[in-house]
Amino acid sequence: MNEPVMPMTKRDLLSMIGTAAGASAMYMAMSSMDQAKASDFKGPPKLEGDNKGASVLILGAGVAGMTAALELSRAGYKVQVLEYNDRVGGRSWTLQGGDTYTELGGATQTCQFAPGNYINPGPWRIPWHHHGLIHYCHELGVALEPFMQVNYNAYVHNTQAFGGKPQRYRHIQADFYGHVGELLAKSVNAGALAQTVSKEDGEILLEALRSWGALDRNMRYVKGAASSGRRGYDKEPGGGLSAVPEPSDPIDVQTLLRSGLWRSIGGNLQWDHLSTIFQPVGGMGQVAKGFERAVGHMVRKNSKVTAIQQDEKGVTVSYKDTKSGAVMKASADYCLCTIPLPVLAQIEMNVSPELDAAIRAVPYSTSVKVGLEFKRRFWEQDDQIYGGITYTDLPNSQISYPSTRYGDKGPGVLLGCYVGGAAGYELTASTPAQRVEKVLEWGSQIHPQYRGEFMNGVSVAWHRVPFTLGCFGSWTEASRAEHYKNLCKFDGRILLAGEHASYYGGWQEGGITSAIDAITRLHQRVIAG
């Protein structure tokens, strides 16, 4: 007896397309079905009503703390901010020529970059749907420019494929889409999807596959004008008698699949990497400067929190001046704490067992960034790569080319390494100089110009950064289920905020949205009280 054929849902169809054709095809299908939508940012909180002269002590002058300080002060609260560093911004940080940085263990680096060159050790890009951060950039006068996330002329690289020779991103993407498009077209023509797609829809799907995969009139992905229009030509179109272009040869499907390089073209289809993406002109530290112009007078820098104590009347925080060594105290009716959890776990505080357990339940991701300065922008001059990212299976993971000052004739800086996981731990265990040397060695396998053009470098291993002891909070589904609400809700007169108290983990948007949520609940309690 034949089993009944159940109708296919949109979810089933999207899953099938994603499995067969990759994330980009699935996302295109989602868009056509109205299944991919941006989140809605409602704007700054409206903290209306009598706050009864309440005071709030904010711990940490990162993006979350500064957002809270700005909005609470606008609502008439008495606000003071304690910050460990001698600057505001926290992980919203830019290293440029003349800056000095000391990591745990005492290793000190002085950035030697030429004027105008920099790296962002922490956040370095702002996706279009991070509406909160973009709102404050506009409001605080922080100029934005495009960040080139995807450059089809950059490289993808696997040491075990193509003799270790890097391949152009456009070659791998065009050929993968083309071969998958041809295979799916054959399935449609053979009736393999007849129970899923009607004849009329099958004809539409074939036409879509021809366009998506750059297939010829016979639904094949072969050498010719269609495929070369995607992957590029062996001889580019020109003018005059030498104008005729020469098509390029696609990589055969077996070689392409076995190379594994198709893995590198899917990451940029993630929600947080979809164009348009921005960066502040002059580095991510400009976000911190924007907040500092607005509420910097409320911040006491060089203040290391040593204890947090609360009772039914308020909160008292003990802190040490890192310059003078003096021990002081600050008090307020409420405390909004944005201190990263690995640091907070080491501070004496009287909170509930539930909050204490939540603070200790979230490990922080390791991450290492290495910025390299070269005598010239050889990636532009020699390789025609203007911005974007090269991906590799080498331990440095990726190379990001600057999305600014294109064509500059002076020294240039690229991000030679951005890696976490086991490779991140291994690099973190090395000295700053050793990290730079290793990154030079790995990068030379992709850009042979590295050694001859290298000038200097700087590295930041986030597990050695004193004010965070890691890059960002790493939740699991299980840990969120058990601890997330306890981390975010009121504990007496103490509230937590930061990217770790959000579903935008690792992004500044998480810090901003968590801060807005926290101060909105704080204000509601004050009004109700």
Shared domain check, 145 and 223: no
Q: How far apart are CA 336 and CA 64, in angstroms?
A: 10
Q: For residues 508 and 126, is the Cβ–Cβ distance under 8 A? A: yes
Per DSSP, the residues of 114-152 read: PTT-EE-SS---EETT-HHHHHHHHHTT--EEE-----T
Place of tokens 């797609």: 197
Residue 179, domain CATH:
1.20.1440.240
Give me the number of domains the chain comprises.
Answer: 3
Same domain, 207 and 319: no
Residue 272: per-residue pLDDT: 74
Banded model confidence at residue 275, pLDDT cuts 50, 70, 90 = confident
Structure confidence by residue, pLDDT tens digits, 444-486: 999 999 999 999 999 999 999 999 999 999 999 999 999 999 9
At residue 10, does pLDDT exceed 50? no
- Mean pLDDT of all residues in the chain? 92
Question: What type of residue is 328?
Answer: M
Both tokens of 497, joined, read 């905020």
- Among 384, 428, 400, smallest CA distance to 118 is for 400
Q: What is the pLDDT of residues 139-150, one digit of tens each?
A: 999 999 999 999
Q: What is the CATH number of the domain that holds 381?
A: 3.90.660.10
Residues 151, 148: Cα–Cα separation, whole Å: 7
Bridge partner residues of 459 (DSSP): 370
Q: Are residues 308 and 184 in the same domain?
A: no
What is the pLDDT at residue 459? 98
Q: Does any domain span residue 82? A: yes
Can you give the pLDDT at residue 32?
A: 38
The pLDDT score that the predictor gives to residue 48 is 94
- Residue 442: the pLDDT is 98
CA 92: distance to chain centroid?
Answer: 12
24-28, 239-243, 318-322, 381-385: least confidently modelled range: 24-28
Quick check: 40 pLDDT over 60?
no
In this structure, is the dihedral angle defined by the CA atoms of residues 296, 297, 298 and 301, taken in order, positive or negative?
A: positive
CA distance 150 to 387: 8
Note whether 312 and 371 are same-domain residues: no
In this predicted structure, the answer to whether residue 19 has a pLDDT above a threshold of 90 is no
**Can you tell me the mean pLDDT for 175-191?**
94
Judge if 206 and 327 occupy the same domain: no
Average pLDDT over residues 111-125: 97
What is the pLDDT, as a whole number, of residue 251? 97
In angstroms, the CA 358 to CA 487 distance is 6
3: pLDDT confidence band, cut at 50, 70 and 90?
Answer: very low
8 vs 471: which has the higher pLDDT = 471
Residues in the chain: 529
204 shares a domain with 310? no
Rg of the chain, C-alpha, whole Å: 26
* Residue 500: predicted pLDDT: 97
Section 370-396 average pLDDT: 98
pLDDT score for 24: 38
- DSSP conformation class of 220: -
C-alpha–C-alpha distance, residues 410 and 376, integer Å:
6
Residue 24 contacts residue 177 (beta carbons within 8 Å) = yes
Query: Could you tell me the residue range of the domain that residue 279 belongs to?
Result: 95-153+275-283+365-464
Instruction: Write out pLDDT tens, residues 300-326.
Output: 999 999 999 999 999 999 999 999 999
- Res 9: pLDDT: 43
Residues 342 and 459 in one domain: no
Tell me what pLDDT residue 267 has. 78
332 and 388 housed in the same domain: no
Q: Which residue has the higher pLDDT, 14 or 155?
A: 155
- Judging by DSSP bridges, how do beta strands 315-321 and 303-310 pair with one another? antiparallel
Domain of 353: which CATH number? 3.50.50.60
* Number of neighbouring beta carbons within 10 Å of residue 450: 21
Q: Is the pLDDT of residue 25 over 60?
A: no
Quick: pLDDT tens for 410-434. Answer: 999 999 999 999 999 999 999 999 9
pLDDT of res. 41: 56
Whether residue 208 is found in the same domain as residue 311: no
CA atoms within 13 A on the CB side of 349: 30
Residues above pLDDT 90, as percent of the chain: 87
Whole-number pLDDT of residue 21: 41
**Does the structure show a pLDDT above 50 at 6?**
no
Q: How many CB atoms lie within 10 A of CB 102?
A: 11
Q: Which of 20-29, 124-133, 162-171 has the lowest mean pLDDT?
A: 20-29
Looking at the fold, whether 456 and 481 belong to one and the same domain comes out as no
